Chain A
Amino acid sequence: MTLAVFFGCAFIAFGPAFALFVFTVAKDPLRVIILIAGAFFWLLSLLLSSLVWFIAIKASNSQDLTLQRGLLIFGVFFSVLLQEVFRFAYYRLLRKATEGLAAISDDDGSAISVRQMAYVAGLGFGIMSGAFSMINILSDSLGPGTVGIFGDSQYYFIITALMTLALTLLHTFWGVLFFEGCEKSRWWVIAAVVSLHLLVAGLSLLNPLYEGSLPPVYGITLLMGVWAFFSSGGSLHSLNALCTRRKAEGESS
């Protein structure tokens, strides 16, 4: 509950996403628009899933705590499914836009490739998801209080920040994989993305048993990162080339 906690958690949760934004998205206006539209689509999915959850809550007995918790869990899974549906919808929208643009332009390429759009769309989803998870908690961390004074875990803020980071990166990777799967019509990829998202959400249900939720989620993040890298055309060779080019440049300078 100090400034250190505030800044620390803010940088953990938003540092990589912010860096990705600044270095890869900010310079190109089209990418910024796609990012914000991606955030908007995520928001829409959240809205609809909140609506469903809200109706379920209002229709049920508010005194029955296990029922309420069950409904919340249902809300979590429903929200995950809806997010993926909206990701697909966004994919279709972007495809139409690319097709339209390619059809009317003289040269073959359009201003932005599907892979770039996939990455930016995923980043948009991730940033919005992270912002919604984290911002209220960050603003609370500026205020007075003691974490865990009633016996809850002391690590609330830092775990939230770490989970937010993981989810932001995961959304980015899932965006890339999902769009790639849709492009190549590999439905198993899409099914894998959806089920992994459900798995991650399910793992978060284990909180506050942080050992059960955080390491597996980070493992999945790493896995997704590697998969997305290879799926979007990266290879060990290109990594090698990157390193050797750096070395060569370093030597020559």
Chain B
Amino acid sequence: MRLLQLWAFGFCHLLFMNTSDSEEDSYNERSALVQCESPTIPSYNQDHDMSLPQETDTKRRRPVSSGLDEPGPVERERASTPDGEEEELTLKYGAKHVIMLFIPVTLCMVVVVATIKSVSFYTEKTSQRLIYTPFEEDPNSVGQRLLNSLLNTMVMISVIVVMTIILVVLYKYRCYKFIHGWLILSSLMLLFWFSFMYLGEVFKTYNVAMDYPTLVMIIWNFGVVGMICIHWKGPLRLQQAYLIVISALMALIFIKYLPEWSAWVILGAISIYDLIAVLCPKGPLRMLVETAQERNEPIFPALIYSSAMVWMVGMADSSNPDSGELHFTSCHMLKCLLVGFLTGGVKLGLGDFIFYSVLVGKAATTGGDWNTTLACFVAILIGLCLTLLLLAIFKKALPALPISITFGLVFYFSTDNLVRPFMDSLAAHQYYI
């Protein structure tokens, strides 16, 4: 009988400080919020063109390839330098930025896996489902189950597409207040309600007696500090920590409430959608970005993890309260995978975090086999690395989900079905390979 509302997210590209450019001087936290991907864009990663992190102490300029980036702020970073030096620095900075993404992604996954393995609440299957996955999976009939999961996926994806389009429309018609309000409401929901649920389950697992006044204090402080960090100012590490925690919470909700097979099919479908939405000329994300660029204004704060500055806003999607059913708003997450400038740092949309963690978390729920979880983890990191490499090579917008999720799915199914029996037999006889 709980009402949950997940909010779709909007994303903005954050331009980071650290530019010796005069343009930058005018940037404060507000103006640095550049284009935001419209939250309606489904939670697929949109990797906006990654600008190569060639920035170093010397200013470098390079043409901005990313459509999502504000031409202004982005371009200021580019300086022309000899190619070889650029490439070398690119590699060094590329490696640094890859690691700057590896660490938070790893942390988020660790939080999710640790929770899944210890708190049984998130692995208990309930009859409650999200309205976005209305078809029940019948464990008895394989064909029926497959069909239902496909139908669930179609429902989920279409909801996400619709939300994306609504957001683009809202943005086009300049309903900024509405969007802002939505985002604030959604982050409120996430920071207070979900963390309250999570804390409750942790206390139940460890049989900790907790009184309500203390709990209210804890949740209140946690939530308020989170809101401040996310929507206003706060220490960088704290912002990053909040983002990681919030992604983990969202991923846990997905892991709990998506039916088994539907979750896998949804992961696959979302990667494909992400690919289409970012690479096709008529994609809603692209339209949003282009609109923002035309207007040369920041859209709205978005859910982005940044190694430099972070803003997070969740976008609320109202769903009808329906007792006994959990509702989600679809997570329309725009992901921006943007390699930062100079000390700008790297940005990665929260949707990426969430779906990576969903994959690894689901790998962790099956059977207690740690090899599968580890294999998925390595696969996702390598996918992320490859994505960043491709971005550096092609210098245009690429989605961040497909490669990682494909690797993750391939490794999950193959490790679970092929490697597990092999390793179990080897361990039983103590043979070593």
Contacts and interface: CB of A to CB of B under 8 A. Distances in A.
Interface in B79-95: 82-85, 87-88, 91-92, 95
A77 B371 CA distance: 21
Is chain B's binding surface mostly helix, strand, loop or mixed? helix
Interface string B391-433: 0000000000000000000010011011101111111011111
Interface residues of B, number: 42
A47 interface: yes
A37 interface: yes
A50 B418 contact: yes
Contacts of A50: 414, 418-419, 421-423
Contacts of A156: 430
B430 A163 contact: yes
Interface string A51-80: 101100100000000000100110110011
Interface residues of A, number: 50
B429 A72 contact: yes
B426 A136 contact: no
A132 B423 contact: yes
Interface in B87-107: 87-88, 91-92, 95-96, 98-99, 102
A133 B385 CA distance: 26
Contacts, number: 128
A189 interface: no
B84 A104 contact: yes
Contact of A83 (B87, B88, B98, B433): B433
B374 interface: yes
Contacts of A43: 375, 378-379, 411
A201 B431 contact: yes
Interface in A140-198: 156, 159-160, 163, 167
A94 interface: no
Interface of A: 29-30, 32-33, 36-37, 39-40, 43, 46-47, 49-51, 53-54, 57, 69, 72-73, 75-76, 79-80, 83, 101, 104-106, 111, 128-129, 131-133, 135-137, 139, 156, 159-160, 163, 167, 200-201, 204-205, 207-208
5 closest residue pairs by CB, A with B? A207-B430, A29-B99, A204-B432, A29-B95, A50-B422
Given A76-B432, A105-B87, A156-B430, 7 more contacts: A36-B102, A36-B385, A40-B379, A53-B422, A54-B422, A104-B87, A131-B374
